[in-house]
Amino acid sequence: MIEIWLVRHAQSQNNAGPETERQPDPALTSLGQWQADAVGRHLHESGPFDWRYVSAFRRALETAAPYHHAAPSIVQGFQIWNDVFEVGGCFAGYAPHNRRVEPGMTVEEIRERFPWATPPADWTAGGWNQLTEFETMEAAIPRADRVKRALHQLAVAAEQRRSADKPIERILMVSHGEFIALLLARLLTGQPDYFVRPRSIYNTSISKVRLGSDQSCRLLELNQIAHLSPGAISS
């Protein structure tokens, strides 16, 4: 059995600005950095995680950074999981007729700026975004199902390792609002329709599910933001 903590990234410049000024791969705002520090402290105080994954988007990596730096130096960093990026992919433009696919950060850029984040072994050059066009929600469903299957495999492996002093392994995943909502729907209902509106997933909110080796899935927490003060809540 595994317990999965799904954390949405902190407030990005796209979250705070008008859609007409959106960027392909924005950084965090000053509020977003505060949120990232707050959730990093909370995660550190919540105990260790056996596995840590993060999207290759800059806003997700910048959100994961404070937790990594708060942990002891012997603790491993994050694995970049290419399949947990936001629905739509990396693109410029905001209107459907002028969206342009962008490659995202290269493996060299990520290694320089986020040396604690390990890229996938088969990603050796170029940007991480392999999409050739804007990803629709329908096209994102198979990607969410790949993540679901991989998580089930982790649950099976965890069950084989289970011991009295460690009955549950914990996974931390820093991802994005729409993708988290889609993944939760696929894990809990097997349906593509949201059981929660994506925009109600707050920045740095934590949602938790417990996944068994028999593919059973139980929701423990949804959109938990106790680590944020009222004035620091954003979506």
Where exactly are the structural domains of the chain? 2-232
pLDDT in tens, the chain (235 residues): 899 999 999 999 999 988 888 899 999 999 999 999 999 999 999 978 999 999 999 999 999 999 998 876 556 789 999 999 999 999 998 878 889 999 999 999 999 999 999 999 888 888 999 999 999 999 999 999 999 999 999 999 988 888 767 788 999 999 999 999 999 999 998 876 666 665 679 999 999 999 999 989 999 999 999 999 999 999 8
Beta bridge partners of 172: 5, 52
User: Which pTM does this prediction carry?
Assistant: 0.94
> Which residues lie below 8 Å from residue 4, measured CB to CB, with a gap of 6+?
151, 170, 171, 173, 208, 209, 210, 211
Helix (H, G, I), strand (E, B) or coil at 188: helix
Tokens linked to 114: 């986020």
CA-CA distance, 83 to 177, in Å (whole number)?
A: 14
Domain 2-232, second-level architecture = 3-Layer(aba) Sandwich (3.40)
